[in-house]
Amino acid sequence: MDWANYLFGFKGRVNRAKFWLAALIIVCWMMLLAALVILAGLGGKGASFGFNVDDIFRAFDPDSYKSLTSAGLPALLVKASGTALFVWVYIAVSIKRLHDRNKSGWWMIPFFAIPGLMSQFSDRLPDDSYWVMAAGGIVSVLYIWGFIELAFLRGTSYPNRYGPNPLGKTHVRQGGDRGNGSRSRQGWDQQSELE
């Protein structure tokens, strides 16, 4: 396996198992980096250190910069570089997972960016407004839909515009580009062998 393309590239397809493996790799990197920062004492005496998805969207919030003085500069540099690395890997693998579902990588905007920004700025929105509650409901549905698309639904079993099936299996194309029910020529096809 080409690990550099798998974790950092945006072209191609990955199946569900590789998506979950990337999530596990990211969590392990987070724990390792946080433990190293705490053991090295970069966060200050008695400080806790961790990574959070909300750290990504705090970059778009000017009020979050006021809290930067509470942590030391080395801890902030580790947190910023670690967060950038983890976000890059997550987005790269998620886009390839969307490609496996025969969807464009632009689906990351409604599945990831809009829910994250809504979460970051939700405390500044009025609580008693119906449109804010409706927007919150829509954002929740987008987040859940995106999680189901990425983590649970099977990819296309035939080669699509983003590449061949990452599982290497061949199946009858269901109304694909040619519409003639042609079989893919990669791998062994038991049905054609029986015929």
Q: How many CA atoms are closer than 13 Å to the CA of 110, on its beta-carbon side?
A: 13
pLDDT at 139: 93
- The pLDDT of residue 38 is 79
Nearest 5°: CA angle at 157, between 154 and 158?
Answer: 145
Q: What is the pLDDT of residues 117-160, one digit of tens each?
A: 888 888 888 877 888 889 899 999 999 999 999 999 999 999 99
When pLDDT is averaged across residues 162-170 and rounded to a whole number, the result is 86
pLDDT in tens, 61-118: 767 666 655 556 677 778 778 888 999 999 999 999 999 999 999 999 999 999 988 8
d(CA 175, CA 117): 38
Top-confidence residue, 192 or 73: 73
Q: Give the pLDDT score at 153.
A: 96
Reported confidence tier of residue 168, pLDDT bands at 50, 70, 90 = confident
Question: What is the reported pLDDT for 131?
Answer: 86
Tell me if 100 sits within 8 A of 38, measured CB to CB.
Answer: no
Distance between CA atoms of residues 32 and 83, nearest Å:
13
pLDDT tens, residue by residue, 28-58? 998 888 888 778 776 555 555 667 767 777 7
Phi (first) and psi of residue 183, to 5 degrees: -95, 145
CA distance 111 to 96: 14
| pLDDT score at 125 | 82
pLDDT at residue number 187: 56
Residue with tokens 């099977």: 154
Residue 20: predicted pLDDT: 97
143-157 per-residue burial string, b: 16 or more CB within 10 A, e: under 16: beebeebbeeeebbe
**Cβ contact 28:7 at 8 Å:** no
Q: What would the mean pLDDT of 181-185 be, rounded to a whole number?
A: 47
